[in-house]
Structure 1
Amino acid sequence: MTEQVSQRPRQAVILAGGRGTRLRPLTDTRPKPMIEFDGKPFLGHLLELLRAQGIEQVLLLLGYRPEAVQSYCGNGHAWGLDIQYVVSAVEDETGRRLKLAAPQIEPTFLFLYCDNYWPMPLDRLWQRYTEAGVPGLLTVYRNRDGYTRDNVQVDRDGFIVTYDKERKAEGLSGVEIGYGIFSREVLSWLPDENVSFERVVYPQLVAKRQLAAFQTDHRYYSVSSHERLPLTQQFLARKPAIILDRDGVLNRRPPKAEYVRSWEAWEWLPGALEALRLLKEAGCRIIVVSNQAGVARGVMTAADVEAIHERMRADVRSAGSSIDAVYYCPHGWDEGCECRKPKPGMLHQAQRDFHLDLSRTYFIGDDERDGQAADAAGCPWVLVADERPLLDIVRDVIDVREANVLHTRSMR
């Protein structure tokens, strides 16, 4: 990199000038980031995320109906931000907007599209950027679930080796969603003509092997098409959820290398059912994830595991609660699956099924693999212990959640 990098970005630059034609008639009278979800514009959710991640300045690049955004955001002080604007012609492409804004852009900046929300861990993006030592980084959703069409290919070292805006090239395996970090020097590669930043700069970075990827399996949510809006509404409504390990958290863990093979071997831990009742009373979804390698070892069957879970659910219902989903990994440690903890596959599956924000979803486990899985998924986590059982942890989590809800409401 030509320009010296000394600190992580303080400034976010957001492209927000397009007409949003795919969202008509919703965008006939407002730009797409002003479409509301859970009582506030999509842009408001983005600004809250940026402030929570330590961003101090936001530069909004506007074109279509800029007054709607300017009236809503003002100087940004309501979010604890300093918001500035660069307004140009509606017809301007992304490259033209960035070229015009270059004098106001800091040497290293966070780069966002106005229509994607992803619970960005900025510290992790920054770590990847500095380790890669290149002028560009983009977040890439791996798209293992076929959520959208791929437009990039990432090599084994985590560098983007193909970028195809038309999404037609062979070997594509992921989609870039913005949430990038760039050195300002790349803006000097833009010509004076009205061009697309993505079409001009990304291929140059790819050709030089200077475009790193931060890869994620946490789904992103967008305001880019009518089909996406219901999913985005579910996500931004943020119904609270708790993810729990099973053995050692809900029931007494069997000795090492042994398994709960039948309901007769199940023993609820003291206070576990009361903890589940409190969670449901607080409005939380309850999701259970568990490694059950006994299936792979042949000491029990999938039907045995599912029968245990049916009885577990019945007890929970009798206690005045309910479990929304149970995920278990039947594989052995040497099978290379993505679901066995400490890999985060089950957490990401729950995220997609229930549109969770994992950065706000506690995972409660009982051993280091649970903590590793939570870290990989971006979940806050805590482990039960003899001196701190599930019931005590749940009471603390509920108190923290209620405090956060009050804080969020105060910002609306």
Structure 2
Amino acid sequence: MAAFDAHSLPAHIEGRIYRRPTQAVILAGGRGTRMRPITDDRPKPMVPILGRPFLEYQIEQLRDQGFERVLILLGYLPDVVQNHFGDGRDWGVHIAYSVTDPDQLTSSRVATARHMIDPCFLLLYCDNYWPMQMSRLWARFRQAGKPALITVYSNSDRYSRGSALLDRDGHVRVFDRSRTTPGLQQVEISYAILTDLALALLPEQDTLLEEAIYTPLAQQGRLTAYCSDHRYYSVGSLNRLPATEAFMRREPTVILDRDGVLNRKPPTAQYVRNWDEWAWCPGALEALRLLHDRGYRTILASNQPGIGRGVMTAAGLEAVHDRMKREVAQAGGRIDAIYYCPHDWDDGCDCRKPKPGLLYQAQRDFHLDLTRTLFVGDDERDAAAAAAAGCAFRRVTDSCSLLDLTRQLLGTRAYA
């Protein structure tokens, strides 16, 4: 009997049945004026990031997420894209094109190519990259039962200007591309699952796709969202390029819990308050040395509720960490950053594991792709935080130490 695969289940939307899409449509026709002078001789999707066109990263992502066909909607300097990608065989997908006037707006580009578009498809813009996990988007789309889903960045760090408001169930209450509605919070980041029901709203006049479809769907209660705390990266403006390049370098990184992974875990409700109470786990220093020797960044993410409970002080914790880092350095390793939650068990913060807040703090500071980052912990809270953030997770046990896991990792580089 074949294994059950929930990710392949169809979605039932307003009396219609839709299968998980295998076609992606990329809007890539604009002039990219904010990227001049780079876009004087190439369209925006061909802006180089670490020597490769940005669009290559998107197409490789689509391929790796199970998409078989890509339709690129071009306008400005279309030959540059077509000559580079051809029919897509070198990237393991089939690529088709629709070319319209460079000054045509996005709703008209989609309307022109509508006969080439599947009843259910993934839409994205050519200038944003977010580490999509399509299985999660599809699960949300199926659960919501709406004819369209947009992906939004939670924007708790005010990274950009909000364009959407969600209700308590995660559906889009307001979508305002002009950003004039008071209180807008979330940022639409262009990864959307759309159906022919949504495209039925396309107008005859030339306008922006978001205003033509997302705004009325939100007003009708027919637009849902997948909300992510993982920052997105862009070639939409020149000032975003350094962060995008840092993200695309994909520097190998591991995130570690502390107690039970590096040092022997104190009993429940007890804490390492000073260095005299610290005891290294066997092999931990050697593991840190091996990671450093192989070019891995090592980041700690640890719950330290003893501070919130008044059992220890932040200064005492910093002193422990200073000594810890010195001994790591003496052993040939390196700790690149330490993130900890100081709150009590019941404070309701966003950083205490099993919530993933500490992992997202590290993501933003180091421009990590958490879907390519391994988190090593020792209990269920660590596993839950990793799952929420999309990280791979490995668990330290009595029979499998950090050193054992490190040797496995460096032998396969499966999570690099």
Aligned mate of 1:320, from 298, 323, 332: 332
Q: Is the 8 A contact 1:5 1:108 kept in 2?
A: no
- 1:150 aligned partner: 162
Q: Kindly indicate whether residue 20 of structure 2 is the aligned counterpart of residue 8 of structure 1.
A: yes
Q: Kindly indicate whether residue 337 of structure 2 is the aligned counterpart of residue 337 of structure 1.
A: no
The residue correspondences of 1:216-231 to structure 2 (distance < 5 A) are: 216-231=228-243
Q: Kindly indicate whether residue 23 of structure 2 is the aligned counterpart of residue 26 of structure 1.
A: no
Q: Distance in 2 between matches of 1:340 and 1:129?
A: 28
Secondary structure in 2 matching 1:189: coil
Letter in 1 for 2:396: V
Q: Distance in 2 between matches of 1:399 and 1:122?
A: 28
Superposition CA RMSD, Å: 1.1
Q: Is the 8 A contact 2:18 2:120 kept in 1?
A: no
Q: Kindly indicate whether residue 205 of structure 2 is the aligned counterpart of residue 193 of structure 1.
A: yes
Aligned mate of 1:102, from 90, 101, 114: 114
Aligned mate of 1:390, from 395, 402, 406: 402
Q: Distance in 2 between matches of 1:280 and 1:8?
A: 41
Q: Distance in 1 between matches of 2:58 and 2:211?
A: 25
Secondary structure in 1 matching 2:194: strand
State the identity %: 54
- 1:408 aligned partner: none
- 2:322 aligned partner: 310
Letter in 2 for 1:381: F
- 1:409 aligned partner: none
Q: Is the 8 A contact 1:3 1:183 kept in 2?
A: no
TM-aligned CA distance change 1:404 to 1:394, over 3 Å: closer
Aligned mate of 1:234, from 235, 246, 255: 246
Q: Kindly indicate whether residue 346 of structure 2 is the aligned counterpart of residue 361 of structure 1.
A: no
Letter in 2 for 1:320: G
Aligned mate of 1:178, from 168, 190, 194: 190
Aligned residues: 404
Letter in 1 for 2:113: A
Structure 1 residue runs without a partner (length 5+): 406-412
Q: Distance in 2 between matches of 1:3 and 1:102?
A: 21
Secondary structure in 2 matching 1:58: strand
Q: Distance in 2 between matches of 1:132 and 1:305?
A: 44
Q: Kindly indicate whether residue 134 of structure 2 is the aligned counterpart of residue 122 of structure 1.
A: yes
Q: Is the 8 A contact 2:392 2:415 kept in 1?
A: no
- 1:76 aligned partner: 88
**1:169 CA drift (Å):** 1.2
Secondary structure in 2 matching 1:212: strand
**1:349 CA drift (Å):** 0.2
Aligned mate of 1:346, from 358, 362, 375: 358
Q: Distance in 1 between matches of 2:140 and 2:200?
A: 23
Letter in 2 for 1:191: P
Q: Is the 8 A contact 2:264 2:279 kept in 1?
A: yes
Q: Is the 8 A contact 1:64 1:90 kept in 2?
A: yes
Q: Is the 8 A contact 1:37 1:237 kept in 2?
A: no
Could you list the per-position Cα deviations for residues 49-86 of structure 1 after superposition, in whole angstroms to 9, with x for gaps in the alignment?
A: 11111111111000001111111111111121011111
Q: Distance in 1 between matches of 2:410 and 2:131?
A: 21
- 1:86 aligned partner: 98
Q: Is the 8 A contact 2:373 2:415 kept in 1?
A: no
**1:334 CA drift (Å):** 1.0
- 1:410 aligned partner: none
TM-score for both structures, normalised by structure 2: 0.95
Secondary structure in 2 matching 1:296: coil
Q: Distance in 1 between matches of 2:93 and 2:345?
A: 47
Q: Distance in 1 between matches of 2:203 and 2:171?
A: 25
**1:353 CA drift (Å):** 0.2
- 1:209 aligned partner: 221
The residue correspondences of 1:252-271 to structure 2 (distance < 5 A) are: 252-271=264-283
TM-score for both structures, normalised by structure 1: 0.96
